[in-house]
Amino acid sequence: MQKLRQMGLWLIMMIMVLGAVACSAADETEGGSTQDNNNPEEQQQEADSSSDDENKDEEDSEPVEAEQPDSEDSQSSGEQQQTVEGLSVEEVKAIMITFNQRLFVERDENQRVKDFQTKQELNQYIEEVATTEIASGFVNQFYEERDEGLYFLPQGMPPMFDPEKPFELEQVSESTDLYLLLQPNSTEIHGEYILNVLLEKENNQYKIKEYSIKRS
């Protein structure tokens, strides 16, 4: 009888131990299941976050359409270009500066011209921006041919175009390629005057046709 009781106690202890082990295993299984159930939610959140970032990148990378110029602005620009067709103020200034430079060329200490030997050579040089009549008239006034070459005749300077002062440019007629330059000026020699220069298109190039002054 005593042995049976011991065996019974031993069985009861074994059952209790097995029950405890079984409960522990069940708890671990439930914990792992809960953790596994949470993972899809976290994965979904990460996926949503990644999707939002990609959408944001796509929005940032969308090409920006260039603004189209307003039709009225384009038309206004075209009209402005048309108003300066023919002969512009800058072109007139360039012609007049070139004329001044070519009329009074480089000379040595004896007033002998360095780069030209005859009036004809100098005339041809000036005729690129002025007519033959204008070029020859100024050359005959300021230069003299000698056996040694071409010499400058020192004298009072004529009224010249001043690129630093304002001037007006008028088209003589809409049907012609004639333009009139008007520049008021004042010097000790000539007093107050208005420089009048008429420019005409010749062989697709504008040249000085008339050169005069009007006393104020």
Residue 152: inside a domain, yes or no? yes
- pLDDT band of 79, cuts 50, 70, 90: very low
Q: Residue 190: what residue type?
A: H
80 or 171, which is more confident? 171
Residue 40: inside a domain, yes or no? no
Taking alpha carbons only, the member of 62, 61, 137 closest to residue 99 is: 137
pLDDT over 60 at 45, yes or no: no
pLDDT over 50 at 130, yes or no: yes
Tell me: the pLDDT tens digits for 53-75?
Answer: 555 555 554 544 444 445 444 44
2 or 84, which is more confident? 2
- CA distance to 41, 78, 151, per residue, from 82 (Å): 70, 6, 46
Print the domain residue range for 114: 86-215
Q: Is 213 exposed, middle or buried (0-12, 13-18, 19+ CB in 10 A)?
A: middle
pLDDT at res. 126: 98
Residue 210: inside a domain, yes or no? yes
d(CA 66, CA 188): 59
The CATH number covering residue 162 comes to 3.10.450.420
Residue 97: inside a domain, yes or no? yes
11 or 166, which is more confident? 166
Rounded (10°) CA dihedral 53, 55, 57, 59: -150
Residue 134: inside a domain, yes or no? yes
pLDDT at res. 52: 55
Residue 101: inside a domain, yes or no? yes
Residue 2: inside a domain, yes or no? no
Residue 10: inside a domain, yes or no? no
The tally of domains found in the chain comes to 1
pTM beyond 0.85, yes or no: no
